Amino acid sequence: TSQSCYSCPPAEAFLNDLAGMGEVVALEFHVDYWDQIVYGGAGQWKDVFSKPAWTDRQRAYALRISRAGRVYTPQMVVGGRAEMVGSRQSEVLDAIEDARRKPPPGLDVAVRDGPAGGIAVSVSGEAAGPAQVWLVRFKRRHETQVLGGENNGKTLVNAHAVLGMEAVGEWAGAAAEFAIPDPGLAAGEGCAILVQADPTGPVLGAAYCPMPNS
């Protein structure tokens, strides 16, 4: 998604709903290719969450799973296996339900509080290994007054906007525990754990971290 994209706010609002579903780990990656577009007299808008790395991530997914082989916004990727226009709620919900009904071999991921403010991650189950274990930090909720671009004058609300991803371990195919002494969360931030065979491969397992106190 992008704060500079006129058609993205409905998909972002829908993702906020998905973030509240108990069995869905919903994450919002903001691409940067909209940041350079001049929209008439409103000029440009630099998305406050955009990163070149998230654009690269989307492009890698496009090569793997996109029907058109192109990047666009708003786009949702479900489980690293399917993609669709992010504002087409029925298609997204169908893809989620399809993943529930016909799950490939997957992993159980559990995240709990660890000592001294850290977290502990347990990974178990059956899947083809090895796979990388990723810590994903995100802003739980953020309001932005947009002062340029296609959404000039709007107040946008973003949920679970990703701030960073860090590899914290490698799952080798057997039940394993991973200790993360400091997830590096600031006030208003949360985190999730993803297990993927590569950075844009199928998601083998995922879970939110325990909710911080602030």
78-87 per-position pLDDT tens digit: 999 999 999 9
For the chain, report the end-to-end CA distance as a whole number of angstroms: 26
Q: Lowest mean pLDDT of 1-15, 54-68, 85-99, 144-158, name the range.
A: 54-68
Which long-range contacts link 171-175 to residues 24+ away (Cβ below 8 Å)?
Answer: 171/107, 171/123, 171/129, 171/130, 171/131, 171/132, 171/133, 171/195, 171/204, 172/129, 172/130, 173/127, 173/128, 173/129, 173/130, 175/122, 175/123, 175/124
Burial class (CB in 10 A: 0-12, 13-18, 19+), 39: middle
Q: What is the tens place of the pLDDT at every residue in 66-100?
A: 777 889 999 999 999 999 999 999 999 999 999 88
pTM for the model stands at: 0.94
104/100 Cα distance (integer angstroms): 9
Whether residue 214 is predicted with pLDDT greater than 60 in this model: the reply is no
